Every structure is written in C-alpha cells, then in structure tokens.
Amino acid sequence: MAFDFLRGFLREPGQVASVVPSSRFLEQRIATASNLAAARRVVELGPGTGGTTRAFLRHLGPDAQLLSIEVSSYFHELLGQIDDPRYINHLGSADEIAEILKLNAMGQPDVIISGIPFSKIPEAVATRVVQSVRDNLAEGGRFVAYQFRADVAVITNPIMGRPASCSLELRNIPPMRVYSWLKTQNF
C-alpha cells in the first residue's frame, strides 16, 4: 500500500499531500474524533489508497455506511479492491456531495472525514468543498479533517465556526492536526 501511495503522489502531486499513507495512530485519532462507533452514515473525502478507509470500516457498526469520494482515477481503482457491503466507492469531486449522496441513495451523513490536502487546492475549490460539507452534513454532525497545515481551518472557520477540537498526532509522517467541527443551527 505504501508503494501505491508513493506512486499516486508521483502521478498526481497536486492532489496528494504526503508520500506515505497515514499511520495507525493517526487513523485511531481520526476515528475517535469522528465518533465512528456511533455513526450510521459516513462520507470520506480524499481516501487515497484506502488505508484510512479500511480503518474506518473496522470502527463502524454493522448497519453503517461509508461512502468515499475520490477525485483520482488511480486511487479510485485501488479503492475498488475493498470488499465490504457497507462500503461505496465513488469517483468524483468533493464539492458535489449532494449529487453523490442522491446518486447513491444515502441520507445526510453523521460524519464527513476529509483527507483532502487543502493547502494544495485552489481556495475557491476548497471553499466550495467546505460549503458542500456544511450543506449536506446532518444537524449535529461532525466534519473531521486531518491536515499538515492549518489551511483547512482558515477556509472552514468562516463557514462553520471555530473547531470543537483540534489535536496533534506526532506519530505520523508528517505529524498531522485533526480538526473537528460540529454542525449547529447557526451554520
């Protein structure tokens, strides 16, 4: 999987923020921040090679659904190897969450998790992604983003308010911040 991740980075460096996949420590921190054990509908944006996707599936209950949205056809093909009836693999853009949810007959997600490298995408695209997250996340739902840089907070705070939490996972290359926003009636 590490080789697939490196290959994806070399093929599409503008869409991949690291040359190595997420560590098990980061995966656990994201799962905890997302409260995956209680989630019923989860959307993962930018799942890459699927390491985090597989970890999330291990934390989800038997009746939960996990929909991944990946813009890279290379990574989308790798994600197609995940065999789990709770999993839906979708090739598309994260700013089209409403259309993708409708296409896959999935209701509003309780959790949206993003591994999209906000520091590598144009600000206008990043803003559309966060607006799509806000508009489609269930009331009281969580938006969790893991990032090396703080760009996601710069984009998300004006749209969803300040994060409910932010923690740093040092046992990852590179170290990552895990942000969590709660959707409230104010946003």
Element (H, E) at 53: helix 51-59
Place of tokens 């989800």: 60
Higher local confidence (pLDDT), 10 or 23: 23
For the stretch 65-74, pLDDT in tens is 999 999 999 9
Mean pLDDT, the chain, integer: 91
Q: Using CA atoms of 85, 87, 89, 93 in order, give the dihedral in degrees to the nearest 10.
A: 150
Q: Exposed e or buried b for every residue in 158-169, given b needs 16+ CB within 10 A?
A: eebeebeebeeb
- Domain borders along the chain are 22-182
* pTM for this predicted structure: 0.90
Q: Is the pLDDT of residue 12 over 60?
A: no
* DSSP-derived 3-state class of residue 66: strand
Residue 187: pLDDT band (50, 70, 90) is low
β-pair partners for 69: 45, 90
The percentage of residues in the chain with a pLDDT greater than 90, rounded to a whole number, is 85
For the stretch 141-167, pLDDT in tens is 999 999 999 999 999 999 999 999 999
For the stretch 162-177, pLDDT in tens is 999 999 999 999 999 9
For the stretch 68-101, pLDDT in tens is 999 999 999 999 999 999 999 999 999 999 999 9
Predicted pLDDT of residue 162: 96
CATH of 22-182, one of 3.40.50.300, 3.40.50.150, 3.40.640.10, 2.40.160.40: 3.40.50.150
Which DSSP letter does residue 86 get? T
Residue 21: pLDDT band (50, 70, 90) is confident
For the stretch 118-137, pLDDT in tens is 999 999 999 999 999 999 99
Predicted pLDDT of residue 20: 72
Give dist(CA 117, CA 37) in Å, integer.
Answer: 25
Q: Is the pLDDT of residue 57 over 90?
A: yes
Q: Is the pLDDT of residue 186 over 90?
A: no
Q: Is the pLDDT of residue 14 over 60?
A: no
Q: Is the pLDDT of residue 140 over 50?
A: yes
